[in-house]
Amino acid sequence: MQGITATAALLVEGFLKTTLVLVPALLGAAACRRRPASFRHFLLSFALIGLLFLPLFRLLPGGWKTPLLPARPAAAVSSSAVFSSPPPAALSGASAAVSFLSVRDGSPSSRSGESAAGPSNAPTGGRAVPAAVSGAAGGFFPAHAAVFAWFAGFLFLLLKLAFGLVGAYRLTREGWEPGDRGWRILIARFLAVVPLRRGVRLKSHPEVAVPLTWGWRKPVVLIPVGADAWEEAERSAALFHELSHIKRADFLFLLLVRLSLAVFWWNPLCWLAYARLRKEQEIACDELVLRAGIKPSIYAAGLLAFRSSADFRGALADVARIGYAGVELAGAGGLTAPELAKVLSDLGLKCAGSHEGMDRLESDFSAVVDFQKEIGNSFVVIPWLAEERRKGAAGWIETAGKMTEIGHMLKEEGLQLCYHNHSFEFEKFDGQYGLDLLYANSGPDAVQAELDTYWVKHGGEDPIEYINRYAGRAPLIHIKDMAAGEDRAFAEIGEGILDMPGIFEAAKKAGSAWMIVEQDTCKRPPIESVKLSFDNIKKMGFA
């Protein structure tokens, strides 16, 4: 029993001490709800990392005693206590065996018991104490099983952490810097408000589904391959959030916390504190981003898009269940081209188009083409233009020429280039809108239109008139409604002020191949908005 008791006492002592550290931290974090999240994050981090230093208290003169626990059992009984009196000569050999094993092991073993017990008719000048013999044997396996269980958990969590770091290193090594210079401009804008002492590397990789950061001395921000196609608000939201992690040294704190979890995984309070810490960490970054000047509404919309992409396969499955025939992609959710092609095929969805930034089309054309062909896509859409590409009429005309070159190259590969508009294209230069300058100075077959009904209206024009204007050159239509009111919010199809039946009729006459439902921000869960739009389209008789 001594082995079991000693092990149990050690586990209870460890549990009690870790609990005495974690409970005040959890209660303190709960009591500081009105304080900044960074303060609550510090409390929880300090407690979890502090657990690693508990063994050092034993080196202090007084140690850290826990009077609530019973004293640990003394060492097992010695050989002199095994026999109550000196044995006769007939048992002297057995006595020697017991004495030898007792001194070596600290307690008599089961083999000692067999030797000491002897035959039932053995002389009884001295008697063996069965309890002393069997207790040590019974304690061996439970005590060692507990140690083995702890070590297995420790090793598993340590290996999991190591594999994660190796994976991040691999993504960094294999990744490439985004071609769009706008990313560097955003980093400079952040650093002007929140200075960093360490240089930041920015890499993109097809296996990255959502932005993430790793590294302390040489931090790296990893972004999805399709990130060049994001609008500026989405880029700012993602990049500023990740740079906030770097500013706060979250990677270093999290690394130490994960080491602490590996050691003290058997206390459930550790996992409770860890879950709360991760939540406070993200909120603390959000607070830092908002202090840097990002509007809350824009930032929230960007984060919503990233959370949705984290369950990319699930989102595609939801869209298929609602009844949509296809999807337009803005990134691949971390899937490779073959994986994405299989997911779409299994769900019965076609690829209606794919957004690719103009910079990537210029710098990595072959990779874009290979990916689009693999997933069965025919329409490559430039979703946004950096400001330096649209400065004045000359900027629009120059960009139109470059798009035409790209469009002809895509045509040779069996793909069609399109351009997706917002409302900044409805600024006039020499009496013409930027959007009209783009189409007037580009080849009709090389550069076609993906007209966005909301943004045409937001720019002050009639979506139906624009669909008619570019009939035969607008294979893709982004249909989205506009809510009534001065804020001109996004609305589900049929829930706003746009003439949706008229838009559908105009698109049909214009020969559009796909009518694509898009809603940038939603007042209800996104999948509910997508379903409501589909249901309303069915009621109109267009689905």
pLDDT at position 3, please? 52
- Per the DSSP assignment, residues forming a β-bridge with 354 are 329, 380
Through-space distance between the first and last CA atoms of the chain, rounded to whole angstroms: 75
| Options 1.10.565.10, 3.30.70.270, 3.90.580.10, 3.20.20.150; CATH of 311-540 | 3.20.20.150
Strands 481-482 and 490-491, by their bridges, are antiparallel
- Domains of the chain, by residue range, sit at 9-56+173-298, 311-540
- Rounded CA-CA distance 383/425 in Å is 12
Q: CA–CA separation, 440 vs 390, rounded Å?
A: 15
What is the reported pLDDT for 300? Answer: 54
Which pLDDT score is estimated for 98? 31
Q: Which of 488, 401, 476, 471 is nearest to 442 (CA)?
A: 401
pLDDT of amino acid 208: 83
484 secondary structure, DSSP code: S
Walk along the chain (543 residues) in steps of 10 and give the mean pLDDT of each run: 59 85 94 90 95 78 54 43 38 34 36 40 41 44 78 95 93 85 82 83 84 92 79 78 92 95 94 94 84 57 52 84 92 84 92 92 93 96 90 95 97 97 94 96 96 96 97 95 92 96 95 92 86 94 86
Q: What is the pLDDT of residue 100?
A: 28
Q: What is the pLDDT of residue 20?
A: 92
Q: What pLDDT, on the 0 to 100 scale, is given for residue 361?
A: 93
Give the model's pLDDT for residue 227.
76
Cα-based angle 385, 230, 332 (whole degrees, multiple of 5): 130
Q: What is the pLDDT of residue 7?
A: 61
pLDDT of residue 126: 42
